[in-house]
Chain A
């Protein structure tokens, strides 16, 4: 067995660790792996080009950008923000946990591209989460703001990943079924999808608890700050 192409992995790890430009690191790693596997320059170029154009589908999300851009220009984020600020019972934790639940259920039903980072997180969920966090701590600093937005993005990921595997016709279940069938194990997709259910429930519980803890920490910081300021004023 030729172990030399593994150097490509080493390049990726080192490149990311040294914070070099990821796009460059990835292409260099591909070239190195290809050359070490004994591919000719012509074959390697064709392999790169072929794989690149046949993976265009991952960039179809840019089609959402004109809509999102126009709406943002017309104040979508300000509106999402104002809407949440007016709903007094909607806390940060309730907002994110509700989104997590809905996203997971939609993915379980196979409705995967209904939500996502460009479609729902940037224009809607992130500004709503920020507004909800501001209700807890009006003096939210930039770093905390970033953390709230990152948590919103993370919530979308967790909801998507640990819902979609329960869906019968989704790629993951079909991939597992197809792979096992190739190796002589014939299974019904249902018997595969059912085993994703315990993990789906665990993912919901674990991430929901983390959201609640995040909110509690934010609230504690805010009250500590308020108390210190009140103390300063008393002196």
Chain B
């Protein structure tokens, strides 16, 4: 059966190759960075398995790895390689030659992913499922990427080392931004375990005039947006704000429609996601991927949409929840 672990191992190999290439280029901080991350990917399942049996040592070692990775990132040693434009004429000639076939492997990633997700329920031999249904999207994406990579190698007559050298070049461009989504998810877990969310909800509900229906609705919507800006994730903000304000005040006291409160509350949170560097995989990683000079360039491009939409959501919430 195709399991999510295999996808993580493939990611680990890719990171390990990046570490080896950087080491050969004598870029030691980068080499250490990608190698440590690779070990976390490959050893992740062993960590979780040991954790379940009450052996916390592997998890603690992973914790030390997290601190070391952040230290390397923060030391400013992860300088990017200067971009090389000498290849531009060769690329243009190759683009001429291969024409629209170049789009095929790129489009194979989404289409093969889609196809695999759709066949997952039927891909079985007897009772034996070929793809683990619980994680089908990620497994499908991982498999599609491998298929697309093979197609790209055949099309461009490249070898596996060339493919890995190219992924290293892109990882290099991403630099520490590649790590940020995982670190932020980790911070979310720490905040959840230390009761930060409850403390925020407590403070907000103490500050609003609870007898006013509109004040409660606006506090809930804006609270969702602001807490999402802090946490970088509307899913982390939702249970806290809804348990703190949405359910007791809006639904309980003022009789709001729970489905509307839940739905629009989450959407207010999404407006916050558009505004925060904490939502790294949507805002910071793309800025690095597109090699923008301003790391907040994507947020700058979307804040007007986010604010107008947040206002719209607040009006909708106040109107629809109390029909």
Contact = CB atoms under 8 A, between A and B. Distances in A.
B11 A56 contact: yes
A126 B286 CA distance: 11
A66 interface: yes
Nearest to A142: B293
B109 to A, nearest CB: 5
A115 interface: yes
Contacts of B282: 117, 157
Q: Which one of A54, A70, A152, A173 has the highest number of Cβ atoms from chain B below 10 Å of its Cβ?
A: A70
Q: Is the interface of B mostly helix, strand, loop or mixed?
A: helix
Contact of B176 (A23, A28, A74, A165): A23
Q: Which one of A112, A119, A143, A157 has the highest number of Cβ atoms from chain B below 10 Å of its Cβ?
A: A157
A79 B102 contact: yes
Contacts of A173: 263
Given A161-B274, A195-B260, A39 B66 contact: no
Interface in B9-26: 10-11, 14-15
B297 A53 contact: no
Contacts of B152: 66-67, 70-71, 74
B212 interface: no
B309 A60 contact: no
Interface string A161-191: 1100100000111011101100101010001
Contact of A183 (B58, B67, B247): B247
A36 to B, nearest CB: 7
Contacts of B267: 162, 165, 196, 199
Contacts of B31: none
Question: How large, as a class, is the contact surface on chain A?
Answer: 35 or more
Contacts of A58: 181-182, 185, 281
Interface stretch (A87-95, A131-139, A201-209, A221-229): A201-209
A114 B110 contact: yes
B280 A22 contact: yes
A48 B162 CA distance: 35
B219 interface: no
Interface in A64-81: 64-80
A179 B263 contact: no
A140 interface: no
A1 B198 contact: yes
A30 B186 contact: yes
Interface string B64-92: 11110111011010000000000100011
Contacts of B243: 183
B163 A70 contact: yes
Interface in B114-167: 114, 117, 137-138, 140-142, 145-146, 148-149, 151-153, 155-156, 158, 162-167
Nearest to B98: A74
A64 B142 CA distance: 8
A47 B156 CA distance: 45
Q: Is the interface of A mostly helix, strand, loop or mixed?
A: helix
A149 B287 CA distance: 9
B302 to A, nearest CB: 4
A192 interface: yes
Contacts of B203: 3
A70 B178 CA distance: 19
B249 interface: no
Contacts of A49: 47, 58-66
Contacts of B140: 113
A114 B191 contact: no
Contacts of B44: 53-54, 56
A218 B40 CA distance: 46
Contacts of B163: 66-67, 69-70
Given A115-B110, A147-B301, A33 B194 contact: yes
B253 interface: no
B196 interface: yes
Contacts of B153: 70
Given A6-B200, A33-B194, A65-B171, A161 B270 contact: yes
A50 B51 contact: yes
B170 interface: yes
26 contacts: A23-B69, A26-B187, A27-B186, A47-B63, A48-B62, A49-B60, A52-B62, A58-B185, A60-B7, A65-B14, A72-B166, A75-B95, A111-B117, A117-B286, A117-B289, A120-B106, A121-B289, A157-B282, A158-B305, A161-B274, A162-B270, A165-B266, A180-B258, A183-B247, A187-B259, A199-B313
Given A69-B165, A73-B166, 15 more contacts: A1-B199, A8-B190, A23-B176, A24-B73, A39-B193, A59-B182, A65-B170, A70-B163, A73-B94, A74-B155, A79-B100, A111-B117, A157-B273, A175-B238, A206-B309
